[in-house]
Amino acid sequence: MEKYGERRIQIVEVLRKHHETLTELIKNIPEKEVIKPIPKVKIPDSPSMCFIDGGEGFRELSGAGFYMVRATGLVMTENMGEKFLRDLDLGLISYDDNTKDRVELLREAMELEVAIKSIKEYKPDYIFLDGSLYVKASRKPIECEEYSAYVRNFQRLITLVQKEGVRLVGVSEDSKSRLLKQYLNQKYSVTFPDFFTDPTILNIISEKDKYSTVKLTPKKGGVGYTTAYLKVHKLANPLRIDSLDGEQELDKTLSLIEKLSKGSKHYGYPVPLFLAHLDAKINAKHTEWSSKRLSHYALREFPELAQAILGKTRRDDRPKGC
């Protein structure tokens, strides 16, 4: 407890110094140049939309990892109403330095497949993906088939939405981005602490309940993205919104997302995208049950091999509470 108290005092002192620095920094950044009103743009009464999210589960076994990935697309059209598109995969994956990243790639590649399927079957006006489009395009390469499949699906989706005229939108609920931070550093010659993210900076710059921000236009792989932040409730952190289209189309998207987020109160997130998240979520108990059923079946068929690959880890046999 003594060490805890010492470190707590030290951390508070560091934060105090940052607070003093930030007070001076903010004076150099005109709020009106960064914080903008949420666009009020007329949108068709009932645009067709698809909201996509995914879930994943992973359990360590003695010789391999067991994974489950699921993707959900919630399609909403005036004629059809609401319909879920779903996909699921489970299997064994070898251990290496990137095992959990590979499972994440499997899940994201599946989400992109669902997006492609929604266009081919329903041709929605909008597709909303959970996460930043720019971040998806900038994933760190890994030498594995999962990464290659992910890149192929992402490129297929980009090509398809451009061909069909579908508005592709990325929505990040807890962005760790520093894109706006870099913009402010360059434009106003300010330097923020390393651990400050874009939402952190926005929460300090403005106390407004609702706003959008200056638009940024990063590029990756020859594709241009238009990015802005959107805050729809005083208790919510700003959402990062990415679009493949220009600033005028992004204004329409921001206005639409504000409307879609009204039902979530302080959460400040598009309700249909949250419903897709709930549908796709895989909890730990589901993963554990599925891996145990696989192990039991395999033990009956080929016990020695199954025990070597699918057996419990030593961690599983620890006394409870340890």
Find residue 89's DSSP bridge partners: 69
Structure tokens at 120: 């081919």
Give this prediction's pTM. Answer: 0.90
For domain 49-174+209-280, which CATH number applies: 2.40.128, 3.30.2170, 2.40.50, 1.10.4100? Answer: 3.30.2170
pLDDT at 278: 96
pLDDT at 293: 82
Query: Hey, what's the torsion of the CAs at 175, 107, 267, 180, to 10 degrees?
Result: 10
Structure tokens at 73: 């697309």
User: What is the radius of gyration, based on Cα positions, of the chain?
Assistant: 23
Q: Smallest Cα–Cα separation from 134: which of 196, 200, 226?
A: 226
- Domain ranges (residues) in the chain: 49-174+209-280
pLDDT at 224: 87
User: d(Cα 88, Cα 22) in Å, to the nearest integer?
Assistant: 47
Output the CA–CA distances (angstroms, integers) from residue 162 to 85, 91, 159, in the order listed.
22, 34, 5
Q: Per-10-residue mean pLDDT for the chain, 322 residues long? A: 84 81 80 92 85 95 90 92 95 93 97 98 96 93 96 96 96 91 90 85 87 91 89 89 90 93 80 96 91 78 68 64 58
- What residue type is 290 in one-letter code? S
Output the CA–CA distances (angstroms, integers) from residue 238 to 28, 148, 151, 181, in the order listed.
22, 32, 28, 14
List of E strands, 211-319: 211-213, 219-220, 223-224, 226-231, 239-243
pLDDT at 260: 92
Q: Smallest Cα–Cα separation from 249: which of 164, 152, 125?
A: 125
pLDDT at 20: 75
pLDDT at 316: 67
